[in-house]
Amino acid sequence: MAVDFQLIDDSENLLRVCEDLRQFSWLAVDTEFERTNTYYAELCLLQLASPDSTVLIDPIRINNLEPVFALLFDESIIKVFHSARQDLEIFYHLKGQVPVPLFDTQLAAPLLGYDESIGYANLVQAMLGVELGKSQTRTNWKQRPLRRKQLEYAAEDVIYLAKIYELMRDKLAGHISEKVLDQQHEALTRDEVYAPDPAGLWIKIRAAKSFSGNNLSVLQQLSTWREETARRENRPRKWILSDRAIIDIARALPEDIDSLSDIKSVDNKTREAYGEMLLSRIKTGIEQPPLAFPERNGYKL
């Protein structure tokens, strides 16, 4: 069966559809993006579904997306997502905030008896009896023109999301756990979700638990520097410095470039580009008060 949607790839039609969509109290929203060689996800397609239409907006072809941002940030319109975090991260990076109010069908699903963290395809199957195709899950969304199959795949995501929302909204009306769901939605809007303090991300390095004292302080310094550099250069963290390299450097505590060269996980390109900065961060870590791994109830986190 043919999938009905509008593809919007010019500013004039973008203005038109955004005005048309303002009449609705809610919109289903999804994004397609690429994040293979950047720190920040690159928005490649934006899908919107109202109760009576589906629109695919091409942000690569349209220079000015302000009309659609104005629509999405209109607080009189509920934005419906499934597993919203990655979609919201894109908007946060582009606009410094996330669109509210929002409704996340993945968060709402357990209130209706479905599994926690249920995937979108499984939820569509469970609620609508529809099996989604998987042929485009690894597609290149940056390529242009997009193929018809790609566009239909993207459109179906919000078409079914809209139907699921309508079912959920009716079933959840007056539900005893609505306040809990509101709290979960509010948590998704916090700045720290999308721009966490670089100085605190070292705790996510698994091997950090085995470090203490100056070695742990150096690991924290290197992790902080990596995060700051990845954001500034818009490159993946592992392209700046791998976890393995951070661990090996923090364990060896090299004092000069020659000693740094002995660490196999630090390749020549990294050493040439960042060697002096790494040594500076090592020195800072050694000179600062020894760092201890945080504990909860007497146990390391």
Q: What is the pTM of this model?
A: 0.90
For 270-299, what is the mean pLDDT? 86
- Estimate to the nearest angstrom the gap between the alpha carbon of 258 and the chain centroid: 39
Active site residue 258: no
Structural class in CATH, domain 198-300: mainly alpha
For 15-19, what is the mean pLDDT? 98
Is residue 109's pLDDT more than 90? yes
Distance CA 28, CA 49 (A): 5
Percent over 70 (pLDDT), the chain: 96
pLDDT tens readout for residues 110-140: 999 999 999 999 999 999 999 998 766 678 9
What confidence score (pLDDT) does residue 223 get?
A: 98
Confidence of residue 296 (pLDDT cuts 50, 70, 90): low
Active site residue 40: no
Q: Is the fold of 6-194 the same as that of 198-300?
A: no
The phi and psi torsions of 161 (rounded to 5 degrees) equal: -60, -40
CA nearest to 105, candidates 90, 122, 129: 122
Q: Hey, what CATH topology would domain 6-194 get? A: Nucleotidyltransferase; domain 5 (3.30.420)
Active site residue 165: no
Active site residue 197: no
What confidence score (pLDDT) does residue 173 get?
A: 84
Annotated domain spans of the chain: 6-194, 198-300
For 150-156, what is the mean pLDDT? 96
Which residue out of 89, 157, 227, 243 is catalytically annotated?
157
Active site residue 10: no
